Amino acid sequence: MSNTLRYIKRMTLAVAACLMLTTIVAQAQNSLPDYSKPLPATKNYTDETLRSFVKVNVAMGNEQVKTKDAITKVIKESGLSTMRFNEMFGALKIGDTTYGNAPKSEAKLFKAASTKVFALQEEFASKMKIVIRREGLGLVEFNDITIAYENDPKLKARIDELLRTMQ
């Protein structure tokens, strides 16, 4: 197998892992449900569980902003625009070994930047997992609440009220 194909397979696996972790670690205010699988049934979460959920989101809010800013900086310093990086990333996701017919010089910039971006995402995800577990939640439970927050108006109202009273 050529080095390029190995790299693409490794990057595709990393992308899949990052996308899965993004769902797990997305802040409730900015998360989008994964419509490719059925939504979990909204459980009758205790106030204690929802307080833990809010604490995780509050605790990781600044870290998420820092990570996003660091990723943007890495991409800009690579010489690619964020838009071009995302175009090339999209091409990679569908197995396009040319990164959307990118010149070799751009492909080299993308490879270098994407390695740093994935490292930043993995670091954020690791921190998020620690905070989730420290607050007594499981990763699946946290993800289920995140998705339910977007889809269940009653649960959203409960969480929003908890957030107001906890601040």
pLDDT value, residue 131: 95
State yes or no: pLDDT of 150 exceeds 50. Answer: yes
Give the pLDDT confidence of 125-141 residue by residue, as tens digits. Answer: 999 999 999 999 999 99
What residue ranges do the domains of the chain occupy? Answer: 3-25+45-166
Of 81, 70, 99, the residue nearest 8 (C-alpha)? 99
Of 132, 152, 155, 130, the residue nearest 142 (C-alpha)? 132
CB 130 within 8 A of CB 25: no
In 3-state terms the chain splits into helix, strand, coil percentages (rounded to 5) of 75, 0, 25
Specify the DSSP class assigned to residue 8.
H
139-151 and 104-134 helices, crossing angle to 10°? 100
**Number of neighbours of residue 71 by Cβ within 10 angstroms:** 19
Specify the DSSP class assigned to residue 29.
T
CB contact set of 111 (below 8 Å; sequence gap of 6+): 7
d(CA 77, CA 47): 44
Give the pLDDT band (50/70/90) at residue 43. confident
Give the pLDDT confidence of 96-117 residue by residue, as tens digits. Answer: 888 989 999 999 999 999 999 9
Structure-block tokens of residue 48: 């204690």
Give the pLDDT band (50/70/90) at residue 163. confident
